[in-house]
Amino acid sequence: MSMILSKLSSEQRTAVTQDGHVLLTACPGSGKTRVIIHKLAYEIERIDHLRRKRVAAVTFTIRASEEIFRRLNSMGINSKKVWSGTLHSFCLEWIVKPYAGYLPELRNGFSIADESYCLDLLSSLKTKYNLKEIDSINLRFGRDGNFIENKAQEKKVLSEYHEILRKSKQIDFELLLFYAYKILSSFPRIQKTLSDIFRLICVDEFQDTQDLLYAIISQIVKVGKGNTALFLVGDTDQAIYASLGGVAKTIEEIRFEIGNQHITPLTLTGNYRTCQRIIDFYRHFQTQPIDIIAVGKNAKLEGSITFNNSINERDLVTEIARLIELSIEKGISESEICLLVPQWWLVTKISRQLRIKLPDINFDASGLSPMSKNRDNIWYKLSRLLLTTPSPKLYTLRRRWANELINDFVTESKGEFDENYRNIRNLLKLINSIRSAETEGIDYLHDCFSKFLDVVDLDYVTFPSLIESHDQFFESIRRRLTDTEFNIPSDIESFKSFYREMTGVVINTCVGIKGEEFETVIAYGLLRGYVPHWNEIFAGNESDASKKLLYVVCSRAKTNLHLISEIGRKTQKGKPLVTNTELQLVNFDYDEI
């Protein structure tokens, strides 16, 4: 048996070795990431390395795609034949960038609009059109290019929003998807080209995939007529992106999308992560009739499950600090502890307070980074290399980042980028040598960028796209630093901390932590209106949305789960918030610690 298959369970081995198209339903902790990684490795071994065939993994988050590369390299697998990234990255790198000239809308150049800029623009337009900040606007496009949003006032906002983007030659993530789909639909030979490149396309978290992704990937798979295998992995109970366009399509719907080609349905049932007691608890929120049995080393542990619905919001920091210290006293490492919240705005204040309360404990709240949210921005990519310290664990990732940066600078500078620094080793050597005495993050980056450009002898101001992305990058940082909601520190050491590997207690949202696992999970803000958001409640989706969010939260825990529904929080109209309805209905013998 191949070394790649030797440590897999029979279910996992069947999934990895199954030929053709596969729809894999995987319960929490069943090893779906492990299967994806081994599937990629298995297919790499079967590729003729003299040909240009590749395999791809379309992931839900950047963290997930980087984890794939880390684990492939730890297995000794050459990842040069692997592409891994988010849906938007796939569309940008493989469809929109190389074929932008085919569309009149993109022919004269474009840039990816910074996410913070887009949010600010939408906020100002909501005010202009007498909408409330809480009013949601569906930004997505249908396959016909029309807005999915059907409310008249919201459509006015969208029309002006896109007119402003068009005039500045910017496209947001939703336009990126639509243009990728339009390119493929209009030019079938591009579908065929991509099908000839990719032997396998894995799609993680298919249940939260937008309709346009199904359309984009399906065109590549369909035209190949078996040349490109589709490997979909997910769990419909974790479908928490329905309000943002996620669609858990049935196997029949997916089969229709790919031209009625056969799809093999498979299931992973064993949970290798969690003790059975926690599984039994979160099955209260399960909607699919799948048995989940603990089969890992934690299976028979009692663990600890607590629920606190009497603590006042004022005392939250003290209670959370106590729970963190109790876990550490049990010998649980900092990086195996996670604090989960339903919305980002709840993170910022408590993150700052916990650092003061527990000065000897490290925290990782990297989602609060002041850097641009547009990871395709060339200056973001340069800052990422400048602010990370070389280490064995980051070796492969930094080489990937450097390669991306070289390609971007060569493209953006019309080939004027110094030949000497088109070599990955030379570029990294240069970046590792750059130092600055500046102590403020923005000043530090300006100084380092200047030194870098001097050495590579590139006058970026002669290239409009580089000027635009440079200004967007720094404007995004300034907006984040001045946003009182986040109150992010501006010093360079804080900037660097956002890029470090996960070494401390993780603080993140329920959505941002999908696919990860921790010995101890502490979740607060489990209040109606936060879980789920009021928009889901007003739309009549309260019960289903609640169950799926709570299912994701609770299934992150291996042995200890601490749930908090604090009192003292109020709606904008002053009405007290109450415990999430589905959580109130659970009849369980909670622990006291």
Answer whether residue 456 is part of any domain: yes
pLDDT of residue 246: 63
Nearest to 519 by CA among 286, 335, 267: 335
**Residue 16 included in any domain:** yes
What is the pLDDT averaged over residues 351-372?
A: 79
Least confident of 112-116, 180-184, 327-331: 112-116
Give the DSSP H or E segment for 145.
none
Mean of pLDDT values over 388-411: 87
Task: Name the token pair of 36.
Answer: 């994806």
Are residues 15 and 25 in contact, defined by beta-carbon separation less than 8 angstroms? no
Mean pLDDT value of segment 302-329: 96
Q: What is the pLDDT of residues 17-58, one digit of tens each?
A: 999 999 998 888 888 889 999 999 999 888 876 577 899 999
Q: Say whether both 69 and 207 belong to one domain.
A: yes
Does one domain contain both 578 and 523? yes
Are 194 and 221 contained in the same domain?
Answer: yes
Percent pLDDT > 70 in the chain is 95
In a domain, 316, yes or no: yes
Phi, psi angles (nearest 5°) of residue 146: -90, 155
What is the per-residue pLDDT across 160-216, written as a single tens digit (0 to 9) for each?
A: 999 999 998 999 999 999 999 999 999 999 999 999 999 999 998 887 778 888 899
Range of the structural domain that residue 22 is part of:
10-94+180-268
Q: Answer yes or no: are the C-beta atoms of 553 and 510 closer than 8 Å.
A: yes
Tell whether 492 and 382 lie within a shared domain: yes
Quote the CA–CA distance of 482 and 490 in Å, as a whole number. 10
Mark which of 217, 247, 268 sits at the end of a domain: 268
The H-or-E segment that residue 73 falls in is helix 62-74
Which tokens go with 7?
Answer: 């440590």
385 lies in the same domain as 487: yes
Task: Please tell me the predicted confidence (pLDDT) of residue 584.
Answer: 94
In the structure encoding, which two tokens stand for residue 370, read together? 């002041």
Tell me the mean pLDDT in the region 117-126.
89
> Are 120 and 202 in a shared domain?
no
Q: Is the same domain home to 469 and 505?
A: no
CA angle (125, 130, 170) in 5-degree steps: 10
CA 175 to CA 18: how far, in whole Å?
35
Residues 87 and 202 in one domain: yes
Residues 431, 550 within the same domain: no
Separation CA 311–CA 567 (nearest Å): 6
* Tens-digit pLDDT profile for residues 417-435: 999 999 999 999 999 999 9
In eight-state DSSP terms, residue 189 is H
Cα gap 186→102, rounded to integer Å: 9
Residue 213's closest CA among 174, 269, 250?
A: 174
**Which of 168, 193, 213 finishes a domain?**
168
Average pLDDT on 317-329 reads: 96
Domain match, 449 and 516 both: no
Mean pLDDT of the region 138-149:
91
Whether 148 and 253 map to the same domain: the answer is no
Q: 551 CB contacts (<8 Å, ≥6 apart)? A: 237, 238, 282, 285, 286
Tell me if 106 is assigned to some domain: no
The answer as to whether 22 is a domain residue is: yes
Residue 487 domain-assigned?
yes
Q: Which amino acid is at 590?
A: Y
For the chain, the domain total comes to 4
The pLDDT value given to residue 245: 58
The alpha carbon dihedral of 15, 21, 27, 32 has a sign of: positive
Q: What is the mean pLDDT of residues 275-282?
A: 92
pLDDT band per the 50, 70, 90 thresholds, residue 474: very high
Same domain for 208 and 89, yes or no, is yes
Residue 5 resides in a domain:
no
Domain end (from 142, 168, 194):
168
Backbone φ and ψ of 581, nearest 5°: -60, -45
If you compute the radius of gyration of the chain from its CA atoms, what whole number of angstroms results? 24
Q: What is the CATH number of the domain that holds 520?
A: 3.40.50.300
Q: What is the pTM of this model?
A: 0.81
